[in-house]
Every structure is written in structure tokens, then in C-alpha cells.
């Protein structure tokens, strides 16, 4: 199996599942403010440069319009990304109109040579196929009910996903897959050197093994990705020669944690977090693949970024989150930890 970017490491403080959060509701009383929303990002096309927003609306499937489009190989069913085709990170995409919960507008894509092409043009898929050297189509997100569209074609993928749902078996299954050609594929997708360890995948949801993306989305695992300024500050201290620009890490929300030091978001796993009117649940620290080291826009390729994350940050940078209560989020909004 291939393409496991940003998978989660074991949740150290997982205490309640999302259903229990929803059952009890979320109160503002005694919430702990941990920062303010510094930046909001939406990525119209998976793996391409995104759009910075002042305010966005978030539904149960994430920020409206986030990863609304992706490149798909119709022969294999694979949903392609920059882990395999880094050139995609030198493309930029923006919507023709504002998306909403049930409508994904067309996008305009700027290619690395500066040429533009619209998703409503017959030339879009042809130009993208030429760019990555494979016959692909540009497709909007499909309904969750169309599971065949998202399902992996590798033999045994569905069975493996069902077995992975049995948590006591995951350690054994992980040992089995980290051998032979699968290990080689994982190292390539994650950008790991031969001497570097592969991440612990035991907390990856079963859906990742059966589908290229959770049906109804083009996300890797969860709909919201959070990163903090304190984490970027720490990493820049550990590797001051690298450019730790937030764009390398493709969060939806960058939280300005002000005077806080260290990797603050690692302590938010298992917690309910209010971001503006939105409430999310911290799910998994984001284990990093090769994408942060690739070139994009004015950021040069820099393998030292990934090497530092693997060596100094337990391979993780950022936090995956699921949506508990939909709502809007804007720059400057408070970010609060909700009491257990």
C-alpha cells in the first residue's frame, strides 16, 4: 500500500471518543485560552498551493472547499498527491467563487511555468497529465456513498482494513506490512532515509488502509489540521538554517500561541478545542511525510526540514482534528481548551 502522509502516532492522552463529546455538549465555562488564530488556509486542489483566508466556515467535513478537487488515475483508481509527484506543490489553485457546504465551484490552476488552466476546461486534465507524466483526470470530491471511487485497488485492501479495526491485532499487522516491498514504498512516501525509523502506524484509522481517502473527502485522515507558532519557533531553534515557513506544513489553522514554548498541540490530543465558533477534537499528532521538504512557490527544496522533524520531534509536527461542532473561524479568534 502507498501514500501515507501525515499519519498519526499513538495518542498519549486519548480519554473520550467523539460520540461522548457530542453527548455531553461543550461549554465555554472555565475554558483555557491557549492562543489566537493567526492564519487560516484552504487548499482547493489536493497537494497544490492553497488560499489564505480571513474567515472560513467549517462543516463536519472540514473547511468549506478544502481539498475540493484532486488528481485521479482512472486506470488504477489512485488519488495522486505530492508525495509521489512533488511538482504538484509548485502549482497553485484558487476558486472561481466561494464554496459552500454542498457546492464545490470550479478552480483556476496556475502551473509551474505560469500558465493557467481552469477545471471547466477540457485542457485541464491533459495539462496535468503532461505535468506529472501519467494519464490522470482532475476530479471534484465525490459523494461518500460512492465507496468504489475511493477504494484502494491493491489485493486484500478491504480485508486488511477490517482486520485493522481490531485494535489488539494492529501491532502484529504493522510488523507484517513493514517488510519487503511495502516497507520500500512507505519509506519513499514518507521520505525516510534507510537508517531512519518508520513511524508507529498503530493509531491510523482502518479507513486509511481500505481507501485512498475517507469517502466523501480528499483528506489523508481527518478534516482539520492545526499547527502552532510555538512548534515552528522550536523547530527553527533546532535547525536555524532551514526556513520553517508555515506553508511547508499545510495546516488549516495556525494558532499563535504567543509566549508558550514547545510543541503545544501535542498536549491537545484527546481534548476538545474551541476555535472561534468551531469545536474540534484533537485526534492524532501529524507524522510527516516527504512533502514539507519539497519546493513550492519561493520555498526551496530542503531535506533538512524533514530530517529535523524525524530526529527531534518524534516524526510529528501538527495535530489532526475531527469536527465536534461546526462553525466559523476567523483570524484573531480565541483558541480555547474545553474542560474534560
Residue listed under C-alpha cell 491493491: 154
Beta carbons within 10 angstroms of residue 340's beta carbon: 11
Q: Which of 211, 225, 66 is nearest to 140 (CA)?
A: 66
- In this prediction, the residues of the chain whose per-residue pLDDT falls under 70 are 1-29, 180, 340
Decide: 309 and 316 in contact? Cβ < 8 Å: yes
CA dist., res. 212 & res. 214, Å (int): 7
Phi and psi torsions of 4, nearest 5°:
-120, 65
- Note the pLDDT tens digit of each residue in 99-155: 998 899 999 999 999 999 999 998 999 999 999 999 999 999 999 999 999 999 888
Residues facing residue 253 across a β-bridge:
40, 226
Q: Give every CB contact of residue 79 below 8 A, 6+ residues apart in sequence.
A: 3, 46, 70, 71, 72, 73, 150, 212, 213, 218
333, three cell numbers: 479568534
| CA dihedral for 313, 316, 317, 319, sign (positive or negative) | negative
| CA dihedral for 274, 279, 284, 287, sign (positive or negative) | negative
Burial class (CB in 10 A: 0-12, 13-18, 19+), 263: buried
59 phi-psi bin (left φ>0, alpha ψ -120 to 50, beta other): beta
* Domain covering 18-337: architecture: Beta Barrel (2.40)
The per-residue pLDDT for 1 is 38
The per-residue pLDDT for 340 is 67
Global pTM reads 0.87
CA dist., res. 85 & res. 164, Å (int): 28
CA dist., res. 55 & res. 34, Å (int): 19
- Note the pLDDT tens digit of each residue in 17-45: 333 333 444 444 578 999 999 999 999 99
Relative orientation angle of helices 170-177 and 180-190, to the nearest 10 degrees:
90
SS3 assignment for the chain: CCCCCCCECCCCCCCCCHHHHHHHCCCCCCCEEEEEEEEEEECCECCCECEEECEEEEECCEECCCCCEEEECCCCCCEECCCCCHHHHHCEEEECCCCECCECCCEEEECCCCCEEECCCCHHHHHHHHHHCCCCEEEECCCCCCHHHHECCCCCHHHHHHHHCCHHHHHHHHHHHCCHHHHHHHHHHHCCCCCCCCCCCCCCCCHHHHECCCCCCCCCCCCEEEEEHHHHHHHHHHCCCCCCCHHHCCCCEEEECCCCCCCHHHHHECCEEEECCEEEEEEEEEECCCHHHCCECCECCCHHHHHHHHHHCCCEEEEEEEEEECEEEECCCEEEECCC
Amino acid at each position: 500500500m502507498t501514500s501515507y502522509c501525515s499519519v498519526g502516532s499513538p495518542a498519549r492522552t486519548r480519554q473520550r471518543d467523539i460520540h461522548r463529546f457530542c453527548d455531553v455538549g461543550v461549554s465555554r465555562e472555565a475554558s483555557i485560552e491557549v492562543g489566537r488564530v493567526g492564519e487560516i488556509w484552504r487548499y482547493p486542489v489536493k497537494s497544490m498551493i492553497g488560499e489564505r483566508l480571513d474567515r472560513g466556515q467549517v462543516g463536519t467535513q472540514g473547511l468549506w472547499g478544502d481539498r475540493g478537487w484532486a488528481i485521479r488515475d482512472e486506470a488504477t483508481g489512485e488519488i495522486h498527491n505530492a508525495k509521489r509527484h512533488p511538482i504538484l506543490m509548485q502549482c497553485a489553485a484558487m476558486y472561481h467563487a466561494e464554496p459552500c457546504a454542498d457546492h464545490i465551484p470550479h478552480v483556476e490552476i496556475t502551473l509551474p511555468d505560469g500558465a493557467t488552466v481552469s477545471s471547466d476546461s477540457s485542457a485541464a486534465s491533459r495539462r496535468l497529465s503532461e505535468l506529472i507524466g501519467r494519464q490522470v483526470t482532475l476530479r471534484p470530491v465525490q459523494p461518500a456513498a460512492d465507496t468504489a471511487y475511493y477504494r484502494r485497488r491493491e489485493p486484500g485492501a478491504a480485508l486488511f482494513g477490517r482486520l485493522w479495526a481490531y485494535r489488539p491485532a494492529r501491532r502484529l499487522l504493522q510488523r507484517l506490512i513493514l517488510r519487503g516491498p511495502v516497507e520500500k514504498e512507505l519509506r519513499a512516501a514518507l521520505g525516510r532515509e534507510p537508517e531512519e525509523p518508520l513511524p508507529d502506524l498503530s493509531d491510523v484509522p482502518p479507513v486509511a488502509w481500505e481507501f485512498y481517502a475517507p469517502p466523501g473527502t480528499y483528506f489523508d485522515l481527518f478534516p482539520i489540521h492545526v499547527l502552532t507558532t510555538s512548534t515552528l519557533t522550536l523547530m527553527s531553534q533546532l535547525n536555524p538554517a532551514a526556513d520553517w515557513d508555515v506553508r511547508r506544513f499545510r495546516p488549516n489553522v495556525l494558532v499563535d500561541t504567543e509566549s508558550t514554548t514547545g510543541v503545544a498541540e501535542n498536549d491537545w490530543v484527546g481534548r476538545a478545542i474551541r476555535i472561534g465558533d468551531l469545536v474540534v477534537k484533537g485526534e492524532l499528532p501529524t507524522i510527516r511525510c516527504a512533502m514539507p521538504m519539497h519546493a513550492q512557490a519561493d520555498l526551496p527544496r530542503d531535506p533538512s526540514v524533514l530530517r529535523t522533524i524525524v530526529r527531534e520531534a518524534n516524526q510529528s509536527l501538527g495535530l489532526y482534528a475531527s469536527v465536534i461542532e461546526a462553525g466559523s473561524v476567523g483570524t484573531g479568534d480565541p483558541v480555547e481548551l474545553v474542560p474534560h
